[in-house]
Amino acid sequence: MTYQADRTYWRAVSTRGMIEAARDSRDELAIALGERLAEYEAQEATIADLLRENKELEQSAESWREEVDALRAQLGLN
């Protein structure tokens, strides 16, 4: 008897695990959905990287603002 995974099983599988299972299947729909899911996963990683970079830039800009304020105070420009 072959075990057929149900939705409960697939909900517990990682995204990467589902992508690999879809790629290894012989079902064209599953393969296409796996490819789409892989694209989605890559976009999520890109978004996370951009959010991190944005936070770093905001912190850098705040640091520059503080430095400008300190220089203005030293020059009596406030």
Q: Is residue 56 part of a domain?
A: yes
Coarse DSSP helix, strand, coil percentages of the chain, rounded to the nearest 5 percent: 80, 0, 20
For 18, the domain range is 7-75
Computed over every residue of the chain, the mean pLDDT equals: 92
Sequence-distant (≥ 6) Cβ neighbours of residue 48 within 8 angstroms: none
CA–CA distance, 49 with 55 (Å, rounded to integer): 10
Would you state the torsion angle of the CA atoms of residues 51, 56, 62, 66, taken in this order, to the nearest 10 degrees? 170
> Is position 23 within any domain?
yes
Is residue 12 assigned to a domain?
yes
Q: Residue range 49-68: average pLDDT?
A: 97
Does the pLDDT at position 5 exceed 90? Answer: no
| The pLDDT of residue 22 | 92
pTM of this structure: 0.61
**pLDDT, position 1:** 46
Closest alpha carbon to 35 in 20, 13, 49 = 20
Query: Is the per-residue pLDDT at 71 higher than 80?
Result: yes
In a domain, 2, yes or no: no
The band of 59, judged by pLDDT with boundaries at 50, 70 and 90, is very high
Q: Is residue 39 part of a domain?
A: yes
Number of domains in the chain: 1
